[in-house]
């Protein structure tokens, strides 16, 4: 089983998501990732990847891997804020990589 760690940025984004069906789909997707089933995902840049959630406005969950058994959920968003979300996720990943 893969350990899932959520950044504060990701936790805040998910908790503020108003669409309860979207939230349920995203949480189900995260559970599948914990079972090593990443599904529709794409490596972006600087070690950050995205999980694409085919629902609503095109939700995205940005993550990075830490070894084989840890996934760090960095940020979330949708297609309308995608570029800014990617830049924020990269900054968060850099911050975490600086941690011991």
Write the pLDDT tens digit of every residue in 63-72: 999 888 899 9
100 band by pLDDT with thresholds 50, 70 and 90: low
Torsion of CA 61, 55, 1, 36, to 10 degrees: -90
94 Cβ partners below 8 Å, 6+ apart?
A: 46
Q: Please state the rounded mean pLDDT for residues 23-42.
A: 96
Domains assigned to the chain: 3-97 (3.30.2310.20)
Listed in sequence order, the DSSP H helices in 1-100 are 8-16, 20-34, 82-97
* CA angle 39–13–35, rounded 5-degree value: 30
pTM score: 0.92
Contact 41, 55 (CB under 8 A): no
Decide which of 68 and 29 is more confident.
Answer: 29
Q: What is the chain's mean pLDDT, rounded?
A: 93
Whether residue 99 is predicted with pLDDT greater than 80 in this model: the reply is no
């Amino acid at each position: 089983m893969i350990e899932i760690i959520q950044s504060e940025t990701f936790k805040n984004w998910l908790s503020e998501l108003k669409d309860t069906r979207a939230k349920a789909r995203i949480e189900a997707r995260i559970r599948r990732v914990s079972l090593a089933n990443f599904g529709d995902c794409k490596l972006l840049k600087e070690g950050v990847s995205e999980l694409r959630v085919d629902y609503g406005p095109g939700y995205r969950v940005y993550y990075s891997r830490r070894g084989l058994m840890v996934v760090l959920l960095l940020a979330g968003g949708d297609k309308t804020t995608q570029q800014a979300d990617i830049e924020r996720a990269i900054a968060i990943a850099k911050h975490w990589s600086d941690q011991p």
